[in-house]
Chain A
Amino acid sequence: MTSHTLAQLPAIALRVREHILRMSTDGGCFTGASLSCADLLVYLYTQYLHITPDTLNSPDRDILLLSKGHDVPALYGVFAELGYITGDRLKNHLRVHDDIYWHPNRNIPGVEFHSGSLGHLLSVGLGMAIDMRMRGVDSNVVVILGDGELNEGSVWEACLTAHALRADNLIAVVDRNHFQANTRTEELIPLEPLAIKFEAFGWNVEKADGHDFADLDEVFKRIPNRNGMPTVVIADTQRGHGVPSIAERADRWFCNFTHDEIDALIGELHGETVATLTSETLVVR
């Protein structure tokens, strides 16, 4: 948590999106998925999670795990804005002498567990949540899941066990941007009715607008319920949010733009004219 007010968050989120775009060149990154969860991460790290750069090793800190690890540029953008790492360090993106690559690495201050392969960190987070409970620590574990990631059976396996173990300090947040790698989720492996699925697994279910800080605040202030049930927040988001040239385009998942295109996209982010993009899109999976 920081001392920022909700009114200050849009400006922080704008700078995080700039960081994401600046990482979308010279090798590129998963731009669309990063833009969709940027607001979520800004909200959680400034308003909800009891953790700061000074309390990274505190045993009673809250923990956030990025299970959809390919959106790590959003996390590192937040870390740069909130002082976990210096902004300059983001220039090391994809360089062999640092650990800032396409998925999270625990050597970066603030990263609690590495990820990359989907469907792992809900169970890892469950283990951490059980540890907190055994120690009598009143903290929470928040796990960011992608909606495409929900195709993985291990997510639902962990949902069953979390319910059985009454892990009410475990909060999953689904970045519901309605896309998976190459297509809309509902056109490949339909997830709806998603809330009912989680309810049937014995979870508290909350829905939020993942780009509306006031709405996120209202929802997160209601949880955790400490009612013996884990909680999921289905955050309705938009892949590529904030940058119209990228938003909701199936082919703008992994992006590697020219420097000129990045400048134009940052202009677009700030409300200037829509960028003209000629770079080939690259699908990596």
Chain B
Amino acid sequence: MIPYESILLDCVQSDERVMILTAENRGHMRNVPALLGDKFLDVGIAEQTMIGMAAGLAARGRIVVTHALASFITLRAFEFIRDDVGIPNLPVIMVGMVPGVLSDANGPTHQAIDDVGLMCGIPNINVFCPADEEDLKIGLKDVILSGQPYYVRYTNAPAAVEHSPSFTPGVAEVVAGPLDGRRDVTILTYGVLLRQAVLAASILTAEGLSVQVVNLRTLKPIDEARLLDAASNSDLVVTLEDHFLTGGLYSILCECLVRNRKSCEVLPIGFTTWFRPALLPEVLAHEGLSGDLVANRIKNTRNKRATSGNLEQSYA
């Protein structure tokens, strides 16, 4: 049994309200159906029906975890999430599989790289983006039992770092570099690219730069204090995400800065269109998202600023 299955099982066993629904996406829950009895339902390839049913079950007092591919649960069922989960603020958890670059070679139909923006845009709905399986294990049970609707950007990637064992929605963790004080670069990131952020930071640190890496964990609520600290105390703030720049962390940072009348140098790294489908390492290399290439982009940005006195934003 994989950790995700153990967490689901633990939640169902520790709270009789919890149910698990899937739209025939069982790759990460092969052992769960037989163990959960009527607390597990496979509704078939029908994301809209799954969310509608989850809302009906939640309206009757249950907490419902729904599980499907990230692109289909957030896009096909978007209006059901907005209308039937968001408006009544019901405890339904949408777990999206293979989000972002994790869709590998599936192609643009399967690329959930607008999911964070879509889900953050619905009032009442929170967004949890664990960096890896350890991060997922630390936060998921709290998220499910919170009594609030959540979108979870699923990953079971091996641990990129040693995570803070306590999870609080809206509290980010600093996983590398100085905890506070003046530094050259702060990399803000979430999800599976945390590993690349840490790699980039180690390259830059070896070259004498001070680099802080922040794992946001939840994009909504967002750790605004951490964003503002990055803006105030870094020469360059990098947002690194496998998501469209519009609607993702870059947008969230920009809104936060304007709201607080702050300004800073920002290098946004993310997508402006769909990425080339391939296996993950090639995707990362081709899209400039691997740790070494991220380090290069940061160095290039710093060099341009040093020569022009003006930091030019490069859009992937």
Question: Is residue A223 within 8 Å, beta carbon to beta carbon, of the partner chain?
Answer: no
Q: Are A134 and B38 in contact (CB under 8 A)?
A: yes
Q: Are B56 and A106 in contact (CB under 8 A)?
A: no
Question: Is residue B49 within 8 Å, beta carbon to beta carbon, of the partner chain?
Answer: yes
Min CB gap B84→A, angstroms? 6
A113: chain B residues within 8 A (beta carbon): 55-56, 59, 84, 88
Q: Which of B38, B44, B87 contacts A161 (CB 8 A)?
A: B44
Question: Is residue A130 within 8 Å, beta carbon to beta carbon, of the partner chain?
Answer: yes
A157 to B80, CA, bound (A): 13
A129: chain B residues within 8 A (beta carbon): 56
Q: Are B49 and A123 in contact (CB under 8 A)?
A: yes
Q: Are B59 and A112 in contact (CB under 8 A)?
A: yes
A132 to B56, CA, bound (A): 11
Question: Is residue B108 within 8 Å, beta carbon to beta carbon, of the partner chain?
Answer: no
Q: Are A123 and B56 in contact (CB under 8 A)?
A: yes
A154 to B50, CA, bound (A): 11
B49: chain A residues within 8 A (beta carbon): 123, 126, 154, 157-158, 160-161
Q: Are A157 and B56 in contact (CB under 8 A)?
A: no
Q: Are A128 and B46 in contact (CB under 8 A)?
A: no
Q: Which of A106, A116, A126, A134 contacts B52 (CB 8 A)?
A: A126
Q: Which of A114, A117, A119, A126 contacts B53 (CB 8 A)?
A: A126
Question: Is residue A125 within 8 Å, beta carbon to beta carbon, of the partner chain?
Answer: yes
Majority-rule SS of A interface residues: helix
CB proximity to A under 8 Å, residues B39-65: 41, 43-44, 46, 48-62, 64
Q: Are A124 and B41 in contact (CB under 8 A)?
A: no
B54: chain A residues within 8 A (beta carbon): 127
Min CB gap A130→B, angstroms? 7
Known: A126-B53, A127-B53. A157 touches B46 (CB 8 A): yes
Question: Is residue B83 within 8 Å, beta carbon to beta carbon, of the partner chain?
Answer: yes
Q: Are A131 and B46 in contact (CB under 8 A)?
A: no
A123: chain B residues within 8 A (beta carbon): 48-53, 56, 80
A127 to B90, CA, bound (A): 13
Q: Are A124 and B56 in contact (CB under 8 A)?
A: yes
A204 to B80, CA, bound (A): 27
Known: A134-B38, A154-B52, A158-B52. A127 touches B46 (CB 8 A): no
Considering only CB atoms, which chain B residue lies closest to A127 in the complex? B56
Q: Which residues of B contact A (CB under 8 A)?
A: 38, 41, 43-44, 46, 48-62, 64, 79-80, 83-84, 87-88
6 contacts between A and B (CB under 8 A): A117-B83, A124-B52, A126-B56, A127-B58, A130-B57, A160-B46
